[in-house]
Amino acid sequence: MDLNLKNKIIVVSGSAGKQGSIGETILNRIADEGGIPVIVDRNSRGFAYAETIQKKGIDALFVQTDVTNPDEVENAVKKIIEKYGKIDVVINNVGVNDGAGLDATYEQFMDSLKLNVVSYFLLVKYALPYLKESKGNILNIGSKVALTGQGGTSGYAAAKGGVLGLTREWAVDLIQFGIRSNAIIIAESYTPAYEDWIETLPDGEAVLKKINKSIPFEGRMTKTEEIADTALFIISDRSSHTTGQFVFVDGGYVHLDRALINDVN
């Protein structure tokens, strides 16, 4: 299926994570479809990622940016427009489950909000004039923690709840401009960051096995490629009448009866 993403300028925040991360996987899927990925992230890995994509014959841009800094986000959008003159899609992909719980300081809690939800607001705010021109769309990467809780991560949970609220608010706010706004909700995906966390645990393999067994569909974690493929469909014209939706890519983790777990695993 041709997703008609060729030469679309698709801005992906938080996309310079380690190789195999959700953001980095999305970048490569965009390039595979002939879209032009723009990496907005503070990590210098973005330079190498852009170069790798360019070697495939697809244009790409990295704008090194602290997404919690309004001036830097505004400047990033200016650089994108200077090069391409348009923005077709914004994918807000920033997410760090930083463990800012009830024992965190006020500053730690606010830092978590700034990174995990305020950054979404900033990027859309400054990209909005150009999304209006292109009648583009917004995709927010969310987390099951917004709906299920997790424990010990008040900042991240509040932020991801806010992401879902913004998704619906923007769908309403921007419908008059023909701009769609949706969110993908992820439960358990074995990203490099997840692997790093497992490796810190004394019984990491046992924990990992238990988590896998808790996922109803096939007893395994969601692959980053599955998340990226769903993301590309949602931002494409093939999903042109979908807005204000939360799309769960989670193997049934959030909604399916826990009684299924023993039956399928």
Q: At what angle do helices 70-84 and 119-134 cross, to 10 degrees?
A: 30
Catalytic residue among 120, 126, 130, 156: 156
49 assigned to active site: no
- Nearest Cα residue to 188 out of 158, 152, 148: 148
Query: Is 233 buried (19+), middle (13-18) or exposed (0-12) by CB count in 10 A?
Result: middle
Q: Are strands 137-143 and 89-92 parallel, antiparallel or unpaired?
A: parallel
- As a whole number of angstroms, the distance between CA 166 and CA 160 comes to 10
CA nearest 159: which of 106, 213, 224, 100?
A: 100
Q: Could you give the 3-state DSSP secondary structure of residue 174? A: coil
**Catalytic center residues:** 156
